[in-house]
Amino acid sequence: MKVAVIGGGGREHTLAWKLAQSPSVEKVYAIPGSAAMAEIASCVDIPLSDLQGIADYAAKEGIDMLVVGPEVPLTEGLTDVCQAKGLAVFGPTKAAAQIEGSKIFAKNLMHKYNVPTAAYASFTDGDAAKQYVHQQGAPIVIKADGLAAGKGVVVAQSEAEAVEAIDAMMEDHIFGASGGRIVVEECMIGEEASLLAFVDGTHIVPMISAQDHKRIFDHDKGPNTGGMGAYAPAPVLTATLQQEVFDTILEPVVSGMAAEGMPYQGCLYAGLMITGGGPKVVEFNCRFGDPETQAVLPLLEGDLAQIMYACTQGTLRDDMVQWKDASACCVVMASKGYPASSHKGDVITGLDKVDTDAVVFHSGTASKDGAYVTDGGRVLGVTAVAPTLEEAIAKSYANIDKIHFDGQQIRHDIGAKGLRHYQQQ
């Protein structure tokens, strides 16, 4: 099979790395890819916004399957444009991608199919939203309806903070049209976990669970980021809870979307809060998580390309997907200023010293004069796999110690919550 990965970040580097190992894959392309992805894939410089250009290229090149990494081209309809040319695409259609593209769509779907999530109301009028905030009290959560690069959520600790967030979204338009409609929802208390699943329209095969670390500083302090590290599996999601997530969340959502005439195909990402009342949905994403992918896919046994192709054909089976009996830890190295800004051009040293049993996924690097330099907020994700989480964490940090760039930022407690669960067992 010839497979093209769409995107150029750490998630896409991981997808390309894993697909390149698939026995059924003869060649991996990346559109647009990155300098690091060029080591394992043929990079083709077509912008992600050029949906037709991507489809035309894939058809001309005889690509058997496109695997779409980021949410933006999915919500813009890349899958539909490619399918119209007879191409197989792993990733939902524009209609189905609304599960991430519109929080109101997702909330209404969950409401209709009785999926556990925070109580909510949606608004197009700021005054009505503020009145609801005063009725409900704080803490309370304000969300822009549309995509906002992971920044459209404010967990307000006071009513004043909630009102400020509503004004910023609806009056000052800090997220543009995405904030024209908002969701105000109950603040859920608990530990978060991510459960991603392969879905072929009707059949669902969950992946191994994972946990992201969204805040920039240790102990979940400081502003939200795209994710500073992840580990898998996440013991907070016990086998019993995972079954509950399957029965009460994944199954009703996938069958609900089929019933609505927009069957879901691709990776469905359920962001969960494990509350005292059971697992509830924080959000859905219509794609793989970043950096969850960097921890989850190294644990996959089986042929990723075949699994994905089966999703596109409606022929996914449970026995195609197996997991290593091991843990993985991915620690992200971010550049100076992240998440408020980022710093480009800092030379990265030590990549050649990384152990052969660890793997470095590039999120934001460029190649300059024969060396890699920083080229974004999140720069690298260093993943190690080991029999236990404790060993995976130690190995990941031992390799991080070998890598250096000016202004580098890491969290020192990736996986610590997982270790605490194992210690309590």
Q: Which stretch binds ligand GLY (CB under 6 A): 56-64, 105-113, 286-294, 298-306?
A: 286-294
141 belongs to the binding site for ligand AMP (CB under 6 A):
yes
The count of chain residues that interact with ligand GLY, using the rule CB under 6 A, is: 7
- Answer for which of 13, 130, 214, 287 binds ligand AMP (CB under 6 A) is 214
107 belongs to the binding site for ligand AMP (CB under 6 A):
no
Judge contact between 371 and 410, C-beta under 8 A: no
Nearer to ligand AMP, 34 or 178 (CB): 178
Centre a 10 Å sphere on the Cβ of residue 315 and count the other Cβ atoms it contains. 13
303 belongs to the binding site for ligand GLY (CB under 6 A):
no
Nearer to ligand AMP, 56 or 191 (CB): 191
Structure tokens at 133: 């905030």
Q: Which stretch binds ligand GLY (CB under 6 A): 17-25, 113-121, 283-291, 338-346?
A: 283-291
d(CA 307, CA 287): 15
Binding marks (x or -) toward ligand GLY, 136..175, rule CB under 6 A?
--------------x-------------------------
Measured over the CA atoms of residue 241, residue 149, residue 37 and residue 66, the dihedral's sign is positive
Residues 211-230 that bind ligand GLY (CB under 6 A): 212, 227
d(CA 72, CA 196): 18
155 belongs to the binding site for ligand AMP (CB under 6 A):
yes
Tell me how many degrees the CA angle 8-329-147 measures, rounded to the nearest 5.
Answer: 40
CB of 290 to ligand GLY, least distance (A): 5
Structure tokens at 360: 């470095």
d(CA 237, CA 195): 9
Structure tokens at 405: 């760039």
Residues 224-283 that bind ligand AMP (CB under 6 A): 271, 282-283
Burial degree of 188 (CB within 10 A; 0-12, 13-18, 19+): buried
Burial degree of 163 (CB within 10 A; 0-12, 13-18, 19+): middle
Type of residue at 80:
D
DSSP codes, 237-287: S-HHHHHHHIIIIIHHHHHHHHHTT--EEEEEEEEEEEETTEEEEEEEESS
CB of 135 to ligand AMP, least distance (A): 17
192 belongs to the binding site for ligand AMP (CB under 6 A):
yes
285 belongs to the binding site for ligand GLY (CB under 6 A):
yes
> Which one of ligand GLY, ligand AMP, none is in contact with 216 (Cβ closer than 5 to 8 A by kind)?
none
Q: Which stretch binds ligand AMP (CB under 6 A): 14-22, 124-132, 148-156, 381-389?
A: 148-156
d(CA 66, CA 155): 36
CB of 269 to ligand GLY, least distance (A): 7
290 belongs to the binding site for ligand GLY (CB under 6 A):
yes
Which residues make up the interface to ligand GLY (CB under 6 A)?
150, 212, 227, 285, 289-290, 292
Which residues make up the interface to ligand AMP (CB under 6 A)?
118, 141, 150, 153, 155, 185-188, 192, 214, 271, 282-283
